[in-house]
Amino acid sequence: MKIKHLLSTLLLGFALSGNAQSYELTVSSEPYNNLLGSTSLNNGMTWDDPNFEVPLGFDFDFFDQTYSDLMITDFGLGGGLISSTGVNDLFTLLTPYGADIIDRGYDFDIDEPSPGSLSNISYLLEGAAGGRILKVEWNNVGFYTEIEDDDVSTDFTNFQLWLYEGTNDIEVRFGMNSITNPEQSFDEETGTWVGLIESIDFGSDEIIGEGIVLAGNPAAPTANLISNFEQVSFLNGVVPEGTVYRFVKSMTSSVSDNLSSLNKITVFPNPATSFFNVTLDQSDYKINTIVIRDFTGKLIKEVEYTDESIEVTELVSGIYVAEIHTNIGVVQKRIVKQ
């Protein structure tokens, strides 16, 4: 199976860069919407092992390296991205969907891209400068092994990757799917894999830095640091439609120390009845967005920060977490709604 060889090649030899995890995972459930007005990358041509450049439209920080574009990789999976240019011959790897996917219209008799795509890959840049979101969508994609073995494409899935300007957050969003033969579609694995890889040397197949891979129940996975191939995990089942995996960049110790020592972030009143305010007492830093979640991680609301009060009248009484996204990291504050 093609995926087996690729995983053993790409994920061999992880080495952790430190004890602290660079990204924190939250899981929520939100309606999935197909992209409207997006730019197609395959332009109606079928694909297997796609190789497309994705312009981000802004500078994006990933494991403390800045990128302006990424490449959907051509080494056999189809749902992963690498940096288009490496640093010291090392490339980052971001995998929203690590199964071996393929265009559902692909013809193995031709065995090369041809007109008649049924699985569009596209991107869309939305929002105002400073708070834009780059959205990449894999629409109605099939699975390589099913088409290769049976010459049909019954199983399919939809997913999107969102990259946030300013906060450098990453989201993987899962849409409608029908996977009736998971053992075949996932090449005898229990599901797909989702991971963030700091850097890989394609010459030696060595992975250097931090690796974060999700494991367990796809509706409520854990984010695990891995150091070698034996620790690579696949999700235990199909990810439910509407699931959102959000990776929030953790603050470095220096950022955390700066914020805490100067008491820059203030939330008041707390408890709140109808609104609360957030202030940042330092002109060098900027608040971009505020995300409110309940204690299960479910997204309640997200607002652009404009120095105005955050309305919470509609919230039921209880305890919530406010994620305050700044230009240097994310601060979480507990808020109580009376």
SS (H, E, C) the chain: CHHHHHHHHHCCCCECCCCCCCEEEEEEECCCCCCCCCEECCCCECCECCCEEEEEEEEEEECCEEEEEEEECCCCCCCCEEECCCECCEEEEEECCCCCEECCCCCCCCCCCCECCCCCEEEEEECCCCCCEEEEEEEEEEEHHHHHHHCCCCCEEEEEEEEECCCCCEEEEECCCECCCHHHHCCCCCCCCCEEEEEEECCCCEEEEEEEEEEECCCCCEEEECCCHHHCCCECCCCCCCEEEEEEECCCHHHHHHHHHCCCEEEECCCECCEEEEEECCCCCCEEEEEEEECCCCEEEEEECCCCCEECCCCCCEEEEEEEEECCEEEEEEEEEC
Section 196-218 average pLDDT:
76
176 or 255: which leads in pLDDT: 176
208 pLDDT higher than 70: no
Residue 155 has what pLDDT? Answer: 98
The average confidence (pLDDT) of the chain is 81
**17-40 pLDDT, tens digit each:** 333 458 889 999 999 999 999 999
Q: CA–CA separation, 164 vs 58, rounded Å?
A: 9
- Whether omega before 115 lies within 30 degrees of 0, making that bond cis, reads no
Q: Residue range 227-239: average pLDDT?
A: 78
pLDDT at 103: 97
Out of 79-83, 86-90, 209-213, 248-252, pick the least confident.
86-90
Residue 9 has pLDDT above 50, yes or no: no
- What pLDDT, on a 0 to 100 scale, did the predictor assign at position 7? 39
The mean pLDDT of 134-149, rounded to a whole number, is 96
Report pLDDT for 126. Answer: 95
Assessment of whether the complete model's pTM goes beyond 0.85: no
Query: What domains are defined for the chain?
Result: 2-249 (no CATH), 253-337 (2.60.40.3080)
CB 140 within 8 A of CB 118: yes
- Give the pLDDT score at 164: 92
User: Given this model, what pLDDT does residue 148 score?
Assistant: 94
Q: Which range is most confident: 14-18, 38-42, 221-225, 302-306?
A: 38-42
